[in-house]
Amino acid sequence: MNNSSTINNGTQDFPSECHYPPSTPVLEWIKNVVYLFILLLALFGNASIMWIVYKQRRMHTATNYLIVNMAVGDLFMAIFSMIPTTISMFRGIHSWVNDGLFGQISCKLLLLSQGSSMACSIITLTALAFERYFAVVFPMLNVLTTRKTRWTVTLAWIASFTYASPIIYAGKVRLYKGVPFCIEDWAPAFHPKRAPAIYTIVSFVLLYALPLLVISVLYSIIIAKVWARHIPGNATPANVRLLNKSKKNVLKMLMTVVLAFALCWFLMYLNLFLQDFSDIFGPCGIPVGMQTTGFLFGHANSAINCCIYVIFSQEFRRGFKDLATPFFRKRSTLPLENTRRATLDTTRNSQKSSLKPQSFKVIEKTRV
């Protein structure tokens, strides 16, 4: 994906007569704090999702394995793309580290991680839609077993890296007024304007429009099937309500994840189309504020998904609660003297009617 203008905050190839109004310090700090919060949520939230599914054997299902795969992709994005971006934001300049070997490799890795993570997310969402479709419409087929899920995850990552592989060539560090920037430069092997435009079209069709269309059709069929199904036998009203609630929660969760992906990445694609196919903003290109907003929304998707799982899934809520309990648990052991005093007071209050009160030493012996 052609993100060069986003990565370097719009400074690459800008004419010298282009002058954007400087951002106020307050807006800069708000942007930095918001992005830092997104980064921390993406790191800890997705790592927690992976840990919860790993520890809870009852959650070792095909659906949860695919959810974990999305969490891995979001974590991959946070580590290799969002952390360098956060450092650049707090430095106050979006220049790259250097134009040497390390700078070239890290630039390619950043762009590769962003493209492959986004591709893995939409491929996994499509696989989830197919998994739910066969589970609801053809429940006896058992199409996606645990073993097949592993192969699906492997193929998803192979397809994702294949899609992002051209970035390995296009990602380069170029100097602008002596300052290095990480950009996409398709020359000299490809046309510098036509190649990124073609790549944008292919990305939009194969990894946005077409998957979202397929997912929408599958979930429409699932909703019609689920709401028309009746429980066989003499089902009690309580069982019917419980089943309907469970079915609705799963569908709401997956549909919300898909909707979040569509909304978060829409502005990024809009920026790319305006950059590659329009001159509406003149020779200076897309305004920096619009680029930054699309950039933040695209990366925010990596943090939003883990929140959606917690909101709609009781299993994930319970897992997060169990994970957080050790950090907020009150100290169960008091100092020795306080413990003895509390034990003695409790014993005296509970044994006021006893003819022969027991001493503290006797009580300790009986507890041992």
Q: What is the pLDDT of residues 336-355, one digit of tens each?
A: 445 445 444 544 555 544 44
Does 135 score more than 70 pLDDT? Answer: yes
* Of residues 321, 319, 295, the one with CA closest to residue 38: 295
| Cα 198–chain centre separation | 27
Query: Which residues, including other chains, have CB under 8 Å from residue 140's CB and lie 6 or more apart?
Result: none
Residue 255 and residue 219 in contact, taking contact as beta carbons nearer than 8 Å: yes
Question: Which tokens sit at 214?
Answer: 């397929």
| Cα 341–chain centre separation | 51
* Of residues 82, 86, 62, the one with CA closest to residue 73: 82
| Whole-number pLDDT of residue 222 | 85
Report the predicted TM-score, pTM, of the whole model to 2 decimal places: 0.77
Does 360 score more than 50 pLDDT? Answer: no
Tokens 């918001």 belong to 34
* 265 vs 268: CA distance, rounded Å: 5
Residue 121 and residue 70 in contact, taking contact as beta carbons nearer than 8 Å: yes
| Cα 239–chain centre separation | 34
Report in angstroms the alpha-carbon separations of 263 from 54, 143, 267, 303: 30, 30, 7, 14
Q: Please report which confidence band the pLDDT of residue 126 belongs to, taking 50, 70 and 90 as the band edges.
A: very high
| Whole-number pLDDT of residue 333 | 45
Does 8 score more than 50 pLDDT? Answer: no
Q: Please report which confidence band the pLDDT of residue 28 belongs to, taking 50, 70 and 90 as the band edges.
A: confident
Angle between helix axes 314-328 and 25-55 (nearest 10 degrees) is: 100
